[in-house]
Structures are given as C-alpha cells and as structure tokens.
Amino acid sequence: MKKEIVLTGITTTGTPHLGNYAGAIRPAIEASRNENVQSFYFLADYHALIKNHDPGLLKQSTKEIAATWLACGLEPDKVVFYRQSDIPEIPELTWILTCMTAKGLMNRAHAYKAVVQENEQKGKKDLEEGVTMGLFSYPILMAADILMFRANKVPVGRDQIQHIEMARDIAQRFNHHYGNHLVLPEAVVGKETAVLTGLDGRKMSKSYNNTIPLFLPEKKLRKMIMKIVTNSLEPGQPKDPDSSAVFQIYRAFASPEETAAMRGKFEEGIAWGAAKQELFEYLNAHLAPYRETYNRLMEDPAYIEATLKKGAEKARAISVPFLTQLREAIGFSPIA
Ligand code: TRP
C-alpha cells in the first residue's frame, strides 16, 4: 500500500510557543507515528525571510525550532525533516507555479489583504506600503513546498486553510496545462485546540506579541501564566470557562476528563489565581521532560545541523527527480 504523505512547515520567525505546539507540532508528531503515513516536516526559512531581515535572528530561530521538534519527539530517521532553504528545487518550482497563478487569486490572500486593510485604517496614502512581492506571493511558495513532495494532507492552523485551497487551485491549473503531475493536497485542522488563546485573550500569535514560549524556564513560565488576562470576578463567583484563556490553554493540554473536571471548578467559582496555578502545574509537568532535551540540543548545534543535512538529502532524493519530470512536462528538456 502506498503511504499517505503528510507535510507541514513552521516559519522560522521567533521562538516556538504553546500555540505552535498545540496547533502544529504535537499533532504532527503524533501523526508521524502512524505506520501508514510518510511525514515531511520542514523549517520554512524562505517564508521567514518575508518578515525577518536579521541574519542572526533567522539563524537563532532555525536552531530553536529544529531543537523544539526534535525535543518534542520527532524521529528524524522515520520522517523527512529538513530546512526549506537546503532544497533549491523549491524556489525553482515556485517560479514555475508563479506562472500558473492568477494575480487575482493572490489579491485575495488574507495575509496580503490584512496589510492593505491596516494601511487603510491608518489613513496611509500608499495602501501597499510594506508589501513586498515576497509577502504578496507567499502562497505560491507554500504551494511549491506542498506540491513538491506530493503531500496528501497538510496539518495547519485555521488561518492557513486558504493557502491550501490556493495550492489546490494552482496545482489544478498546472495539471490542466501539462498533465496530471501534481497531487491536490487537503488541509487538516485539529478541532478544539487548533487555535490557542494568548495572554491577552486574542489568538496566540507572534504578530500579537501575546505568546507563551514553549520552553521557558519553570519560574518564568509560572510568571507568564500569572499574567494571563482575566476578568474581575471574585473567588466563589462562577466563571465562564469558554471565554477564558486560562481554560482554553488548559484544555489544549489536558485529557477530556481533566478538562471536564476543570470546567466544573470554573462553574464552582475557582479563584483566578488558583486556576492559573493549576494550569502552570499541569503545563510544567507536561513540558519538563521535553524542556530538558531541548536545552541539551541547544548546546549541541552541530548535531542539529547534521540532522537537517541528512534530512535535506532524503528530501532532495525526491525533489531532484520530480523537478526533472516537471521540467520535461513544461518543455525544459534538451532540444536535441
Ligand atoms: N505558512 C505556514 C505558517 O505560517 C508555514 C508554512 C510554510 C507551511 N510552508 C508550508 C505550512 C507548507 C504547511 C505547508 O504557518
């Protein structure tokens, strides 16, 4: 039986946070243990270049994210784990796909539209201020990531579904012109935990600056959890779990039974301080063993680098011949 291909990437900007873990890393690693699945996980550093123009930061983030995935239990021998910029076939495919992509399709991309909207709200004259072609055509690069490895399933956060739809559109256009070479991917979004609430009650996201880093030292983790915004209800007053970041985060880590028990405590009026303490203890117990491995890996970047290089070799064993096939299909083959 042919294995199903599951692929996902994490942009190497910033430090991995609880939202990345609950929404992407944990489900991806779980899926990679399924024998019927071949998983591809990569560090999306070409994507990071859209926002991050600091070489030191880019490197640091790549190191942190690679260490995070390995520490969380990714088995590099079982999966294909690589750095996007080690695969030169990806930018080549990106260009080919760029020529298959309607500009109008990109005009509708959320990430681009959000910047234009912000400029509008700020009363800027130039609505495209701050928009590079990298940002504008970001979904095409993402399509190349996915289509290069013939991914069937792409686990992503809800905000990325549109990009997967676009990858399908682009693949269909390619196949229409050149034959059925590209596989149409499907987005897979985890249900309740896919979007985690951040410190301020909005979605946990690097862009809102409201994240809780995954591997904070214990004391700092506690301090940060104590900072989660709550309302002014007193101990003893019933609290609504569903609108509480404390509960949302707890639920993303705890079992259904534990979550139900916590819901009960909220309804009975647990004090905010006590609820946060429980969240801290739960998270800390869950994360401590991973944190230890993470710290050890961060001290051994040569191991991380060697692991990524091995991953790139495996990835290129696929991308090089596949790109040759695509080049032939589009007419880039010897003329004699
Ligand atoms: N754009 C994704 C994000 O911000 C990261 C990403 C890049 C990705 N390429 C991908 C995810 C390919 C899935 C598949 O989360």
Q: Is pLDDT of 190 > 80?
A: no
Tell me if 267 sits within 8 A of 238, measured CB to CB. Answer: yes
Q: Which residue's alpha carbon is at the smallest distance from atom 8 of ligand 1?
A: 9
Task: Please name the residues in contact with 206: beta carbons below 8 A apart, sequence gap of 6 or more.
Answer: 13, 14, 17
Which two structure tokens, joined as six digits, stand for 214?
Answer: 């995954």
Where is average pLDDT lowest: 205-214, 217-226, 281-290? 205-214
Q: Is 47 in the pocket of ligand 1 (CB under 6 A)?
A: yes
Q: What does the pLDDT average to over 220-226?
A: 97
- Cβ pair 229, 210 in contact under 8 A: no
**Helix H segments across the chain?**
18-20, 26-32, 45-48, 55-71, 89-98, 103-107, 110-121, 133-136, 138-148, 161-178, 218-226, 245-253, 256-268, 272-298, 301-330
pLDDT at res. 13: 83
**Residues in Cβ contact with 145 at an 8 Å cutoff, skipping those fewer than 6 apart:** 7, 9, 42, 44, 84, 90
pLDDT of residue 194: 55
Q: Ligand 1, residue 141: give the atom nearest the CA.
A: 9
Residue 263 to residues 18, 19, 238, 249, Cα–Cα distance (Å): 21, 21, 10, 12
Nearest Cα residue to atom 14 of ligand 1:
8
DSSP 213: B
Alpha carbon of 138 to ligand 1 centroid (Å): 10
How far is CA 52 from each of CA 3, 60, 332, rounded to the nearest angstrom?
Answer: 36, 12, 34
- End-to-end, the C-alpha distance of the chain in Å comes to 39
Q: Go through the domains of the chain in sequence order and give each one's CATH number.
A: 4-194+301-330 (3.40.50.620), 215-296 (1.10.240.10)
Query: 35 φ, ψ to 5°?
Result: -65, -20
C-alpha 333/C-alpha 336 separation (Å) is: 9
Q: What's the whole-number mean pLDDT along residues 192-212? A: 83
Q: Residue 191 — very low, low, confident or very high, per pLDDT cuts 50/70/90?
A: low
pTM of the model: 0.89
- Cα–Cα–Cα angle for 103, 106, 112, nearest 5°? 135
Element holding 270 (H helix, E strand): none
Bridge partners for 41 per DSSP: 8, 81
Nearest CA to ligand 1 atom 11: 9
Tell me the pairing of strands 153-155 and 80-83: unpaired
Closest C-alpha residue for ligand 1 atom 13: 8
Give the H/E segment covering residue 189: none
In the numeric block, the tokens 């090089």 are attached to: 320
Question: pLDDT higher for 139 or 205?
Answer: 139
* 243-269 pLDDT tens trace: 999 999 999 999 999 999 999 999 999
Q: What percent of the chain has pLDDT over 70?
A: 99
Kindly state if the Cβ of 154 falls inside 6 Å of ligand 1.
yes
CA of 50 to the centre of ligand 1 (A): 13
Question: Among 47-51, 79-83, 144-148, 206-210, whose mean pLDDT is lowest?
Answer: 206-210
Q: How far apart are CA 79 and CA 313, in angstroms?
A: 12
179: left (phi over 0), alpha (psi -120 to 50) or beta: left
Residue 187 Cβ < 6 Å to ligand 1 = no
Sequence-distant (≥ 6) Cβ neighbours of residue 193 within 8 angstroms:
22, 23, 251, 252
- CB of residue 185 inside a 6 A radius of ligand 1: no
- Per the DSSP assignment, residues forming a β-bridge with 43 are 10, 83
Name the packing angle between helices 161-178 and 138-148 (round to 10°): 70
Contact 27, 155 (CB under 8 A): yes
Average pLDDT over the chain, rounded to an integer: 94
Q: Which residues pair with 198 in a beta bridge?
A: none
